[in-house]
Structure 1
Amino acid sequence: MSLVNPLYLIKQAQKNSIAIPAFNIHNMETVQGVIEAAVEEKSPVMIATTPGTLRHAGVSCIANIVKTIATEVNIPIALHLDHCSSYEVIAQALRNGYTSVMIDAAKLPYEENVSLVKEVVKMAHAVGVAVEAEIGRIGGTEDDLSVDEREASLTIPAEAKDFMETTGIDTLAIAIGTAHGMYQGEPKLDFDRLSAIKELVDIPLVLHGASGVPADSVREAIKRGISKVNIATELKIPLARSIQNYFADNPEGNDPRKYLGLGREAVKKVVKEKIRLCSSNKLLNTLEEYECC
């Protein structure tokens, strides 16, 4: 199957109170681990890359790996550019076959954010690609914001509605208390804020920073309107640990097929857990046809 625009699937997930997981990958083995898990679970999946990954591996290299594997399986796979603040990099991704992009201009003043997002929407929609954007700021790894700072960084429901209507985006990433990376303590998600946003915003909502969020909190977020869940750090940690353990047991080892193969299996295990958490493995059973999506 060729790569798909994920918007149809995300909207179906929205209707069924489930979520499509998006997994950030970094190399061939992590791509394989994600897709193998998705095939075995019979779940649609989004392969996500950050601009940093593209600088590391090259956009055409990553895109071709994902596109090649996608043609060999019979599940919907989307290729998504995550947290990109550059119009030019997004254009490069589109030229290389990406089917979903996120323009992240949340650090800009509101009007500048809107202006840049509108330009990306115009470009991406012209080639049939879905656009995600962000309103509110998602915290960093350490999550050391004070209460007042934390409140100031969260998405304002009325602003989210205006942002959606003004920009024409397809999905909206919101800040409700998650952070990128792993947490030092249990994150406190603002579920009432999520419900208030859901009342005003009818496009699918996206949860970033889901690595390390307790499963019950993720389920509650999905129940209240999250339709796409991003996972990154929870793949990197088991990948790294599996390689570390290999060299602890095999200090003279030097075959990347062995230690990266173990890393692939570690990634695959986590992906299966997250697919089940999001219940995305139930989605294709509700669709009579998904080749068109």
Structure 2
Amino acid sequence: MPRANVMSLLSKKASGCWAVGCFAIHNLEFIRAVLGAAECEGAPVILSLDAEDSSLRGLEVLAAAAQCAASRASIPVAVHLNHAKRFDFLLEALDAGLDSVMFDGSALPLEENIALTQKAAHLAHEGGAVIEGEAVPLKEPADIPTLGRFVRETGVDSLAVTLPPRGVAVEPLLRELVQVLPVPLALHNGSTLGEAGLLQAVRAGVRKVNVHTELFSAFTLAVCRDMDSGRGCSLAALESGVDALTSCVRNRLRLLGSSGRAGVF
């Protein structure tokens, strides 16, 4: 199946509430595990390269591996660059053939973030890619007009949101934001919300959920456990890591409601 476009995955929503999982990949084992899980679940997925981590390890090589694997999958798979904080990371990703990038200026003052994200959006669109941006966390109704202004003035194609930690009712806030914004929402701190908070976010209309912390923890624990046991070589330990990752991704796909949704596209 040809590699999917991120926006095509986020724009279609069948009956019921569900979101597309965007899974961090750090090496070939992560790619194998995410795609293996998605194939088993019949779910569309996004493979996400972290900008700084991937640049240290060789973004071009990992991007090529991800794109090749995506093109061979039987389910819709898109490839995305996450959390670029510098323009050279964006340009490197565009040169590597990625058609979806994120510029993260959320740590900057709002006006500076808007100005830089606007420039990043111009670079991405010139390169034939779509772009995700991030502004202030969504904590109260007063944040909604700020996020609306950010989207209008930057020209981003989707908006990343971070939410208060578990225990806070976020569904009404998100529903109002979804009604106001003309672009899809991506959730960036799902691991801090707990399953109940994550389900609230999906019910409210979040279309993309980033998954990072759970994957890294599952892989590391499985590999270290095998290595410490002395039962096998490092290659066998890597396979244990792939198995743990696959199980983690399958669980997350089911929680997001995206299992069996590949036929929508």
User: TM-score normalized by structure 2?
Assistant: 0.92
User: Are the aligned partners of 1:45 and 1:76 in contact in 2 as well (CA < 8 Å)?
Assistant: yes
Q: Does 1:263 align with 2:241?
A: yes
Distance in 1, Cα, partners of 2:236 & 2:59: 26
Distance in 1, Cα, partners of 2:43 & 2:175: 27
Instruction: Give unpaired runs (5+ residues) of structure 1.
Output: 139-150, 179-185
Higher alpha-carbon deviation: 37-46 or 194-203: 194-203
The residue number in structure 2 matching 1:195 is: 175
Equivalent in 156, 172, 176 of residue 163 of structure 2:
176
Q: Does 1:276 align with 2:254?
A: yes
Tell me which amino acid in the other structure corresponds to 2:60. S
The residue number in structure 2 matching 1:22 is: 22
Tell me which amino acid in the other structure corresponds to 1:159. T
Equivalent in 150, 157, 162 of residue 163 of structure 1:
150
Q: Does 1:236 align with 2:199?
A: no
Tell me which amino acid in the other structure corresponds to 1:260. L
The residue number in structure 1 matching 2:113 is: 113
Deviations 1:170-223 (A, max 9, x none): 111122215xxxxxxx45353332223223113111111112532222111111
User: Are the aligned partners of 1:70 and 1:77 in contact in 2 as well (CA < 8 Å)?
Assistant: yes
Instruction: Give unpaired runs (5+ residues) of structure 2.
Output: none
Q: What is the SS of the residue equivalent to 1:108?
A: coil
Tell me which amino acid in the other structure corresponds to 1:161. G
CA RMSD after TM alignment: 2.2
Distance in 1, Cα, partners of 2:14 & 2:146: 21
Q: Shift of residue 89 of structure 1?
A: 0.6
Deviations 1:6-52 (A, max 9, x none): 10111113885311110111111011100111111111111112123
Q: Does 1:206 align with 2:193?
A: no
Task: Pick closer, same or farther for the CA change 1:19–1:199 going to 2, 3 Å.
Answer: same
User: Are the aligned partners of 1:14 and 1:226 in contact in 2 as well (CA < 8 Å)?
Assistant: no
Equivalent in 179, 197, 201 of residue 221 of structure 1:
201
User: Are the aligned partners of 1:176 and 1:191 in contact in 2 as well (CA < 8 Å)?
Assistant: no
Task: Pick closer, same or farther for the CA change 1:15–1:129 going to 2, 3 Å.
Answer: farther
Distance in 2, Cα, partners of 1:282 & 1:72: 19
Distance in 1, Cα, partners of 2:250 & 2:214: 12
Q: What is the SS of the residue equivalent to 1:211?
A: helix
Distance in 2, Cα, partners of 1:101 & 1:187: 31
Task: Pick closer, same or farther for the CA change 1:15–1:226 going to 2, 3 Å.
Answer: farther
Tell me which amino acid in the other structure corresponds to 2:10. I
Tell me which amino acid in the other structure corresponds to 2:262. L
Number of residues paired by the alignment? 265
Distance in 2, Cα, partners of 1:162 & 1:15: 30
Higher alpha-carbon deviation: 168-177 or 223-232: 168-177
Task: Pick closer, same or farther for the CA change 1:135–1:80 going to 2, 3 Å.
Answer: same
Distance in 2, Cα, partners of 1:61 & 1:195: 39
Deviations 1:97-138 (A, max 9, x none): 112111001122222111111112122123332211011149
Distance in 1, Cα, partners of 2:84 & 2:14: 24
The residue number in structure 1 matching 2:64 is: 64
Distance in 1, Cα, partners of 2:107 & 2:193: 24
User: Are the aligned partners of 2:41 and 2:260 in contact in 1 as well (CA < 8 Å)?
Assistant: no
Distance in 1, Cα, partners of 2:64 & 2:6: 18
Task: Pick closer, same or farther for the CA change 1:73–1:164 going to 2, 3 Å.
Answer: same
Distance in 1, Cα, partners of 2:262 & 2:253: 13
Deviations 1:58-101 (A, max 9, x none): 01111111122122222111111111111111110011011211
Give the % identical residues: 26
